[in-house]
């Protein structure tokens, strides 16, 4: 009996020690938190004025003592997965928009929606819309967006002024002559009110839609002689009556 009792005690100790030394991961997902203590953040980013989702941009998560996380904004959406829970600084950058920066607490699966404000004033956007209306009121909606996008592309290019007003009203002097960049500025039709369609086209171009395929200019082939310099520029696309070029 004493031997049997001693053996029983040894077996019980072995079982107890085996349980204490086990290093396997816990099973289940208590509280709905991601397994392994990881978290995620998903979000949408829109234009604060139009409500349109922004086509592109850069989103980062940072906190002291961490290398942080970075991802691209695509189609108005972004996602961070396998994030260590904690408090982060969220930074969103998109072309032609003011930077957004805020603190976010990530614990589990978090979803947010943010709105960015454009760097342009209401008057500047109205000026661009009036140019689109004057230049392309007879064109398709895609063609009107392309005109707006080409002006924004010119604004990004180092060879042109760095303000919308400067780009639209730019006058180039060559051979003792003045050359307006846009016909409506010369003939005064830019002063006419913009249609709602033109305003919508500007909003879409601002949000990132570029049917012009990166063009910085356009012209109507039917109205421009072959001796004009614009024919020597690389074409990007033809939409309606306009040929777009870089």
Q: What is the pLDDT of residues 183-195, one digit of tens each?
A: 999 999 999 999 9
Average predicted confidence (pLDDT) for the chain:
88
Cα 60 to Cα 53, 55, 105, 131, 174: the distances in Å are 18, 17, 14, 36, 46
* pLDDT tens sequence across 29-56: 333 334 445 899 999 999 999 999 999 9
**pLDDT (0 to 100) of residue 157:** 97
Both tokens of 228, joined, read 């004009």
Architecture of domain 122-245: Orthogonal Bundle (1.10)
**pLDDT (0 to 100) of residue 96:** 98
Classify each residue of 199-219 as buried b or exposed e, where b means 16 or more C-beta atoms within 10 Å of its C-beta: bbbbbbbbbbbbbbeebbbbb
**pLDDT (0 to 100) of residue 38:** 86
Average pLDDT over every residue of 147-173: 97
Both tokens of 134, joined, read 């004057």
Q: How far apart (Å, rounded) are the C-alpha atoms in residues 7 and 13?
A: 10
Does residue 66 have a pLDDT over 50?
A: yes
Q: How far apart (Å, rounded) are the C-alpha atoms in residues 141 and 200?
A: 9
211's CB contacts (< 8 A; 6+ apart) are 142, 143, 145, 146, 149, 237, 239
CATH code of the region 36-116? 2.60.40.10
Cα 134 to Cα 13, 116, 187: the distances in Å are 90, 28, 10
Q: How far apart (Å, rounded) are the C-alpha atoms in residues 74 and 70?
A: 13
Domain ranges, ordered by start, for the chain: 36-116, 122-245
């Amino acid at each position: 009996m004493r031997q049997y009792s001693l053996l029983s005690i040894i077996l019980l100790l072995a079982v107890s020690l085996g349980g204490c030394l086990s290093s396997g991961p816990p099973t289940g997902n208590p509280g709905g938190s991601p397994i392994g203590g990881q978290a995620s953040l998903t979000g949408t980013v829109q234009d604060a004025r139009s409500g349109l989702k922004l086509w592109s941009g850069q989103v980062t998560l940072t906190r002291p003592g961490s290398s942080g996380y970075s991802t691209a904004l695509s189609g108005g959406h972004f996602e961070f997965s396998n994030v260590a829970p904690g408090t982060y600084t969220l930074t969103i950058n998109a072309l032609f928009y003011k930077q957004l920066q805020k603190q976010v607490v990530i614990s589990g699966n978090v979803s947010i929606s943010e709105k960015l404000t454009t760097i342009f004033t209401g008057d500047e956007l109205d000026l661009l819309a009036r140019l689109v209306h004057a230049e392309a009121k007879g064109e398709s909606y895609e063609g009107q967006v392309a005109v707006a996008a080409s002006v924004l592309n010119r604004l990004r290019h180092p060879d042109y002024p760095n303000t919308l007003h400067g780009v639209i009203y730019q006058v180039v002097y060559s051979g003792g002559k003045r050359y307006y960049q846009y016909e409506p500025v010369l003939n005064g039709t830019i002063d006419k009110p913009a249609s709602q369609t033109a305003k919508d086209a500007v909003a879409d171009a601002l949000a990132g839609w570029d049917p012009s395929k990166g063009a910085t200019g356009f012209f109507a082939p039917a109205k421009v002689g072959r001796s004009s310099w614009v024919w020597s520029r690389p074409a990007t696309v033809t939409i309606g009556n306009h040929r777009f070029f870089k």
